[in-house]
Structure 1
Amino acid sequence: MFGTFVSNMMIKPGQAPLFDHPQSFDLPFEDVEFSTEDGVTLRGWLIRGGADKVIVQSHFGVQCNRGGWTPKGHGPMPPWKQDIRFLRQAKYLMDQGHSVLMYDLRGHGDSDLGPIPWVSWGPEEAKDVIAAVDFVSARYPSANIGLLSICMGSAATTYAYGRDHGLAERQNIKAMIAVQPLLYSNFVKALGMPGFMVRAGEKVSTARMGFNMAEPNFVLDAPKITVPTLVVQNTNDPWTEMPMVQSYYDALTVDKEMRLIELEKSRFAAYEYLGARPERVMDWFDRHL
């Protein structure tokens, strides 16, 4: 019982129905879908700005989707009190002349489940990031691409650089922003659950996934990233360990910068910050695309 509850909390797909739409921001857009190397259909919005610079946005996991995060359905005490609407940064980027691909990772929003029908926290979702880059590359062959990768999106993107025939071979990618990269094992530890619940959840998740969720480590793939990378982290984030974020940053071998922002004591504060103050983060794309 405890094991199923914990595992569902951490890896169950379909916990985040789509709640926002580009029409709410009067954005020119196109509904799109594309397939991954293992045949998963992903769906999203292509916000149509300029044709020479395109941002691929990969959202965080489990309770999120291309549109962001909503407290609806998360009980009387959600970790954040208001909608986090990723279309705000998409509007900012479009106003700066960028097109933006906002898509649902497998098992999220309107995208299909993968062959492993659970959220893997990055290893499986890496295939989605590659497919997203290839989709916009086909649509805009001469465009420079920037990667806006948020939490699990950062992990998936980093794993995608470590894969054979992965992102390191896509020469049109010119910059990356990694927002609050987080290892699964660090997150579980930060939640402070009793050990028996953690072990019970790990047993169920291992049976579901076919591997121990605590073993994959995207930090090992960070040296394979080939583009200038900005790491963004709220110093008051209670759900991570700052040495882990520092180890990710230290492992990067490219032009890099770490921006530590002091926000309220919530991991979600940084996600809100992306849309509330996009100019404080997105200038990295202006510099490198």
Structure 2
Amino acid sequence: MGNQRNNSVQQEGAPSNGRRQLLKAGAALAAFPIIAATSVGAQAADNQTIMGAIVTDPKSEDFINGMADLMAHSTRTPVLRWPNEYGLDYEEIFFPALDGVTIEGWFIPADSDKLLIFNHPMPCNRYGYPGHLEPWTNFGGFEVNFLPEYKLLHDAGYNIITYDMRNHGRSGTGSGGINGHGVLEYRDVIGSLRYAKSRPDTKDMKTALYSRCLGANATIVGMKKHPQEFAHIKAMIALQPVSPAVFVQTAMENQKIANGAELFDVAFHKQTGFHLADVWPMEYAKAVTVPTLVAQVRNDFLTKPSNVQEIYDTISSQGKKLFWIEGTDQRFEGYNYFGKNPQPVLDWFGSHIS
């Protein structure tokens, strides 16, 4: 890679089977409720409830099982873009998560004492999400690209550490390949904090977090379980944190599957040993005490604004702000938003990292 400062990356943890690497057509990615270009809810119109008994057609059963598969394991996607393509010097880095899983990422240096650590959404990676390419077009059919935002923040004077969470991108397989929606991935967040503290050039930097979706959930779990690891954090942006149970309930309502959330919970438990109630308790948000900007696509058809409002209200920080992204109902548009409209991010970090 041009302008690469260290070529020490090792690729580990390749998926053990095809399901976890790429979900097949007709399974989760094809059945998952990200049918952005079409009317949601049309697929399962034939579901009906008769005398309290649920009659589920084959399409609805495929939808539930496919969604459970994706929620249980996520899916790996390729790292398609690199910092040098945007004129950025960088190092390829790797470090252990709290439990030893090998985590791979980038360090993008700047001439300052300020550091941002990024934690990405599911099923993205440090680069973004190749939603413009098959077989990943089910999240709206467009690309999510974090590199323009890294460039903007780097040019504003921020050093950057960004990485692939376990079971994503090029990082190792962890927790048996199970996606914990934060209750397992917090180990990666803590690994990134310890890594930054281990580097002579970053250990004393003023540090803030930029955590999206899965990354936000994982960060919040880490703050609950190991608050001492976050004592030096100056601020956070939490972009689209979500309660998995609300995500599932909304999907089943969109698809008009009666008792869909209950049926999903059975399928999810069968694959992971988790029930939906296990994977991200709302009360964990009380552990957030750092100044936090919560941002969310207001009309995101995959979730409910009331869920994000509740997360925001539960956060303990006195210095918090809620920012609604308007003009779209596409969740993944929210991940591109600040790369095109950076001022709220620049203002937030600028006012809290001095």
Q: TM-score, length-normalised on structure 2?
A: 0.76
In the TM superposition, what whole-angstrom CA distance separates every residue of 1:57-89 from its partner, at most 9, and x where no partner exists?
Answer: 10101x2111011111236x6333322111111
Which of 159, 166, 170 in structure 1 is aligned with 2:230? 170
Question: Does the CA contact (< 8 Å) of 1:168 and 1:225 recur in 2?
Answer: no
Aligned pair 1:221/2:284, yes or no? yes
Quote the offset at 1:263 in angstroms. 2.3
1:173-184 to structure 2, matched below 5 A, reads: 173-184=233-244
In the TM superposition, what whole-angstrom CA distance separates every residue of 1:136-171 from its partner, at most 9, and x where no partner exists?
Answer: 1222121111110101111111011010xx244432
Aligned pair 1:286/2:346, yes or no? no
Cα distance change on mapping 1:198 and 1:246 into 2, 3 Å:
closer
Give the superposed CA RMSD: 1.9
Aligned pair 1:70/2:126, yes or no? no
* Between 181-190 and 260-269, the greater mean CA deviation after superposition: 260-269
In the TM superposition, what whole-angstrom CA distance separates every residue of 1:160-208 from its partner, at most 9, and x where no partner exists?
Answer: 1010xx2444322100000011111111111124246654543332133
Question: Does the CA contact (< 8 Å) of 1:182 and 1:245 recur in 2?
Answer: yes
Question: Does the CA contact (< 8 Å) of 1:263 and 1:269 recur in 2?
Answer: no
The amino acid across from 1:105 in the alignment is M
For these two proteins, the number of residue pairs brought into alignment is: 285
In 1, the alpha carbon distance for the partners of 2:281 and 2:321 equals 18
Aligned pair 1:250/2:313, yes or no? yes
Number of the residue aligned with 2:22: none
In the TM superposition, what whole-angstrom CA distance separates every residue of 1:119-140 from its partner, at most 9, and x where no partner exists?
Answer: 1111000111111111112221
Cα distance change on mapping 1:218 and 1:153 into 2, 3 Å:
farther
Quote the offset at 1:243 in angstroms. 1.5
1:80-159 to structure 2, matched below 5 A, reads: 80-139=140-199, 140-159=202-221
Quote the offset at 1:115 in angstroms. 2.6
In 2, the alpha carbon distance for the partners of 1:240 and 1:5 equals 18
Cα distance change on mapping 1:121 and 1:195 into 2, 3 Å:
farther
Number of the residue aligned with 1:5: 66
Number of the residue aligned with 2:84: 23
In 2, the alpha carbon distance for the partners of 1:29 and 1:179 equals 25
In 2, the alpha carbon distance for the partners of 1:199 and 1:223 equals 27
* Between 200-209 and 268-277, the greater mean CA deviation after superposition: 200-209
Aligned pair 1:58/2:58, yes or no? no
In 1, the alpha carbon distance for the partners of 2:263 and 2:324 equals 35
Gaps of 5+ in 1: none
Quote the offset at 1:107 in angstroms. 0.2
Q: Tell me, what secondary structure is at the counterpart of 1:32?
A: strand
Question: Does the CA contact (< 8 Å) of 1:122 and 1:159 recur in 2?
Answer: yes
Q: Tell me, what secondary structure is at the counterpart of 1:145?
A: strand
In the TM superposition, what whole-angstrom CA distance separates every residue of 1:77-128 from its partner, at most 9, and x where no partner exists?
Answer: 6333322111111111110111111100000000011133121111000111
Question: Does the CA contact (< 8 Å) of 2:82 and 2:127 recur in 1?
Answer: yes
Number of the residue aligned with 2:248: 188
Question: Does the CA contact (< 8 Å) of 2:292 and 2:320 recur in 1?
Answer: yes
In 1, the alpha carbon distance for the partners of 2:325 and 2:175 equals 38
Question: Does the CA contact (< 8 Å) of 2:175 and 2:184 recur in 1?
Answer: no
Which of 196, 199, 207 in structure 1 is aligned with 2:270? 207
Q: TM-score, length-normalised on structure 1?
A: 0.92
Number of the residue aligned with 2:47: none
* Between 152-161 and 14-23, the greater mean CA deviation after superposition: 14-23
In 2, the alpha carbon distance for the partners of 1:156 and 1:171 equals 16
Question: Does the CA contact (< 8 Å) of 2:182 and 2:280 recur in 1?
Answer: no
Question: Does the CA contact (< 8 Å) of 1:56 and 1:148 recur in 2?
Answer: yes
